[in-house]
Chains A and B, each alone.
Chain A
Amino acid sequence: MKLRIWILILMTATGMAAADSAQPAKVMMEAARKKEVVDGDLKGAIRLYGDIAAKYKNDRPVAAMALVRMAEAYQKMGDAEARKIFERVVKEYGDQKEAVSMARARLSGRMAAQKTGIVTRQVWTHSPSPSARTMSVSPDGRYIAFPHKSGNLGLHDLTTGEDRLLTTTGNWGNEPEYAGASVFSPDGRQVVYYWERDAKGAEPRIELRVVGLGEHESPRVIFSSEEAWVVPGAWSPDGKWIAASVTRKDKSSQIGLVSAADGTLRVLKSVDWRGPSNMAFSPDGAYLAYDLAPNQDSVQHDIFVLALDGSREIPVVHAANDVVIGWSRDEKHLLFSSDRSGRMGLWALAFSGGKTHGSPIPISAEFGQPIGLTRSGAVYYSRRAPFTDVYLAEVDFITGKVLQPPARPIEQSVGFNYMVDLSPDGKQLAYAFLQTEGGLPRLGIRSMATGETRLLTVKWSKFYSTAPPRWAPDGNSLLTYAIDSKGRAGVFRIDAKTGNLEQITSDGTIRTWPMWASDGKSFFWRSPDTTVRHDLASGQETAFFPGTCRSISPDGRYLACTSRDGRLVAVPLAGGEPKELAHITPEARFLPFSAWTADSAAVVYGIVRAKESATAELWVAPVAGGEPHVVNLNLAATAGGLHVFPDGKRVIYNDSAGSGSGVGGVFVIENLLSALTANKQ
């Protein structure tokens, strides 16, 4: 036996030596990143990055990136050496664009150490989906679990930058299955996640599943019920319980614990229709923190801590929209995000012995949607990049010339204004906007005459899909498909003065993109393939057109629609054959709008020529016949919601081109304790 052991040791040592001599730069970089990110050994990582820079000094891309990483590690330690190295990269490696760009960004202060000593840096450029709260970070800070675009649960390795899938059956086909929110086990070896299956003709089935991080591990279902939808929020430090947000069939919410062993659900506390957005166990497992709307009328969340011995619930943080993140590494502070300063920032509140102490402490003014905390106390969050804005331009639809170039009429929430709609008289603009990261969309009503904007507080849980609220013919209300604060989905009328919601349909049918008919007695909505007319008085529905209809002509005679075979048509509302106005090639697609000129003589539409194209063209097609012609207004391929004013010249629309500045992705804030310590001094 002894001989065999010695042989093994000898072979292993020999193998290691051989590998070392042939170690490619990539492997060495991964080892250094692991030492930095996973082990938290910054000095060791600096040594390794230094070795790489020296060993590969002639391989300039590798050397430059190693230096950048080394500087970042210094920066985490608060060492001034970081600046020197970044400056060296800029000076000596001008040909290495990525490394220089990163170094410049850090030198410019975007990711520089802040006065408090904390460090914020971007770890992943992945621009999160709107539901970024579905991501989670592993306790060692190495992985981020996220809903992959395939529907599967993805795992991003922050040390290698590579993604892999933890599930295989996710899909967006006829009967989609997909992953949602996830949480890592305290040992970092497993992930519990939300899994939804939408079989045809059946109610969606929500399951809580667990999968190991190893290769080819099979997920197991730990909770599945026809009566409760469960979303994981936190995993207890002893590994036995998963705190979850439970939604019942009456749409009410609960906070529950699911046994990691047998899936038993224990309901801790019932709340109203809106559950917590985040949850966190205290390090000793004695408390569970969560955020909730304190009452039905509130659109904000407050933070509460429940003693898990059942003795009490402690209101902890209020007075703003507050979202719990977890406990600091010193176990003495509760970390949370809050918009109390006017923007979403990171805050801490001393909490010990079941009580809060003092006032909330600002940690970082830059924050987004929380992803989670690591064992070392680093806080991960995601931030959405500016994605779209509202533009106003003036064009001559006859000559196709631009009379006034596009300009942003709305100065607030730049890059986050969307779903624009113009009232029929052209006097009011309705648009949605995201005021704070992770907050619910707000609705703004802007007077085009004065520029004054009223913000409506609409008690909805969420907009549905991308359907913009559309003005009623009288300009007093808007129509949308939404989910209200009691969890009920349907078509709603929004009072344009008060924001009050009136439910118009409640039979469970998803009627997206509702749009009033001119007489206000019926509305059109869109199923995936068909535009349907819904009569308000009778509730009767009739298929109107086998395609997508988006706007009614000002004279009320036609509805502009696009067909699946690439035709733009004007469909007479009084009945009769549709008039074909234009058609596009199979490679092209229409932009999601079709507007009418003020005199109802032509339809204004957009075309994206090829699937991968980033730009679009604006065209005008006369209804009375004749060839369509182009309008020289530059649009991005993501433009939409274009409307023509009654003056026949001005147009308003959504476009992503040049919408604001800012970086989206996943970020980490480190060295929090220094900020908390500094605050005490």
Chain B
Amino acid sequence: MLILVAAAITIPLGLDLYLPAPEDNPLTAEKIELGRRLFFDRRLSRDGSTSCSTCHDPERAFSDDRAVAVGVFGRKGRRNSPALINRGYGRLFFWDGRVSTLEDQVLKPIEDPNEMDLPLAEAAARVSLTPTEISHALASFVRSILSGDSPYDRFVNGVRTALSADQQAGLQIFRGKANCTACHVGPNFTDERLHNTGIAWCDGKLTDTGAGQGNFKTPTLREVALTAPYMHDGSLATLEEVIEYYDRGGNRNPQLDPELRPLHLTAGEKRQLLDFLHSLKAKRN
């Protein structure tokens, strides 16, 4: 009776056994499979050119190598396509956290003119489902995208050789001097909160206000080595650039999160931190 039953999926090492799902949309294998098919279905876009997977490539931890999303008719979005890793544990969705459930979130790109640009009623008709069925199925599929059982997970669960010496040193820096855990915390490496890291601050003004005052949601760092480019606007091409950015304390601006400050990391510490970030990759079968 005490074993949590997430019947439809297996929870990998390092993640919570309790995977929240709304009472009206419990996880089932059937819904996950339907959601998987919809995720790759280009009929859900106006011109039949784009599916969810166009910007959320499974080979890139369900993210996109372009700086910002590109939708139907080559329309460019404003922001980088985030990785869909472990979103079942999420509490806020989209970079600006404007949506609070996966069921709501999965429908937005279908309607967004810059993404798939299709009215929900038409999308439903095309796949012979109701909008609610599309929502429930896609949310169930996204809930099933889990990343765990990484070298880091094995390390913290007792396999002390799972991380190299440099990676272990990088983990110490991650938790200590670099103050990464002020936001990238817990098994999913995100506090699911909004912060101004200064990325949107340019020439004395905000280029994107995000959730207001330049705040954007903390993304997971699971599979982070696969999800370049980085930040909400894809403006940093590599993890090295990200580390350099935070090392200098971000772009100073009136709303900069007080957790950001110059870190004064040495070259060796930056390399070790990078090594550690590469350990957040799930074991591939």
Contact = CB atoms under 8 A, between A and B. Distances in A.
B181 A251 contact: yes
Nearest to B156: A227
B175 A309 contact: no
Given A250-B185, A270-B188, A311 B26 contact: yes
A272 B2 contact: no
A269 B89 CA distance: 10
A310 B182 contact: no
Contact of B193 (A286, A296, A312): A296
B26 A296 contact: no
Interface stretch (B16-24, B29-37, B62-70, B114-122): B16-24
Contacts of A311: 23, 26
B186 interface: yes
Nearest to B180: A250
Contacts of A236: 2
Given A268-B17, A269-B16, A308 B1 contact: yes
Interface in A222-279: 225-228, 236, 238, 240-241, 248-252, 254, 257, 266-270, 272-273
A269 B18 contact: yes
A250 B175 contact: yes
Contacts of B125: none
Given A250-B185, A311-B26, A270 B16 contact: yes
B88 to A, nearest CB: 12
A595 to B, nearest CB: 35
Given A250-B186, A309-B4, A486-B182, A268 B26 contact: no
B204 interface: no
Nearest to B193: A296
A267 B17 contact: yes
- Measured as residues with beta carbon below 8 angstroms from the partner, the interface class of chain A is 35 or more
B1 A238 contact: yes
Interface in A306-350: 306, 308-313
Interface string A587-620: 0000000000000000000000000000000000
A285 interface: yes
B16 A272 contact: no
| Residue among B3, B155, B158, B185 with the highest chain A CB neighbour number at 10 A | B185
B16 A268 contact: yes
Q: Is the contact region of chain B dominated by helix, strand, or loop, or is it mixed?
A: loop
Interface residues of B, number: 32
Contacts of B15: 267
A296 B2 contact: no
Contacts of B1: 238, 284-286, 308-309
Interface string B168-193: 00000001100101100111100101
A295 to B, nearest CB: 9
Contacts of B5: 309-310
B6 interface: yes
Contacts of A486: 182, 185
A257 B2 contact: yes
B18 A306 contact: yes
B18 A272 contact: no
Interface in B167-222: 175-176, 179, 181-182, 185-188, 191, 193
Contacts, number: 82
B6 to A, nearest CB: 5
B255 to A, nearest CB: 15
Nearest to B20: A313
Given A238-B1, A268-B18, A313-B18, A228 B156 contact: yes
A240 B2 CA distance: 9
A238 B3 CA distance: 13
Given A240-B2, A285-B1, A308-B4, A252 B16 contact: no
Interface in A212-230: 225-228
A495 to B, nearest CB: 12
Nearest to B15: A267
Interface string A617-632: 0000000000000000
Contacts of B188: 270
Nearest to A284: B1
B175 A312 contact: no
A555 B77 CA distance: 64
A257 B193 CA distance: 27
Nearest to B191: A272
Contact of A310 (B17, B155, B258): B17
B169 to A, nearest CB: 14
A225 B158 contact: yes
A296 B191 contact: yes
Contacts of A241: 2
| Residue among B26, B158, B181 with the highest chain A CB neighbour number at 10 A | B181
B227 to A, nearest CB: 21
| Residue among A227, A228, A238 with the highest chain B CB neighbour number at 10 A | A227
B175 A272 contact: no
Nearest to B13: A267
Contacts of A227: 155-158
Contacts of A296: 191, 193
Contacts of A257: 2
Given A249-B175, A269-B16, A272-B191, A310 B186 contact: no
Contacts of B182: 486
B193 A310 contact: no
A214 to B, nearest CB: 27
Given A228-B156, A310-B19, A267 B187 contact: yes
A296 B5 CA distance: 29
Contacts of A228: 156
A285 B156 contact: no
A639 to B, nearest CB: 38
B20 A250 contact: no
A494 to B, nearest CB: 14
Contacts of A240: 2
Contacts of A270: 16, 89, 186-188
Contacts of B20: 312-313
A508 to B, nearest CB: 8
Contacts of B181: 250-252
Interface in A123-169: none
Contacts of B4: 266, 268, 308-310
Interface string A478-520: 0000000010000000000000001000101000000000000
Interface in B234-285: 258
Contacts of B156: 227-228, 248-249
Given A270-B89, A310-B5, 16 more contacts: A238-B1, A248-B186, A249-B156, A249-B175, A252-B181, A252-B185, A254-B16, A266-B4, A268-B17, A269-B16, A285-B2, A308-B1, A312-B20, A312-B23, A313-B18, A486-B185
21 contacts: A225-B158, A227-B155, A227-B158, A238-B1, A240-B2, A250-B175, A251-B185, A257-B2, A266-B17, A267-B15, A268-B4, A269-B16, A270-B89, A270-B188, A284-B1, A296-B191, A308-B4, A310-B4, A310-B5, A310-B17, A486-B182
Q: Which 9 A-B pairs have the closest CB atoms?
A: A310-B4, A250-B181, A227-B156, A270-B186, A252-B186, A252-B185, A269-B18, A241-B2, A268-B18
Interface of B: 1-6, 15-20, 23, 26, 89, 155-158, 160, 175-176, 179, 181-182, 185-188, 191, 193, 258
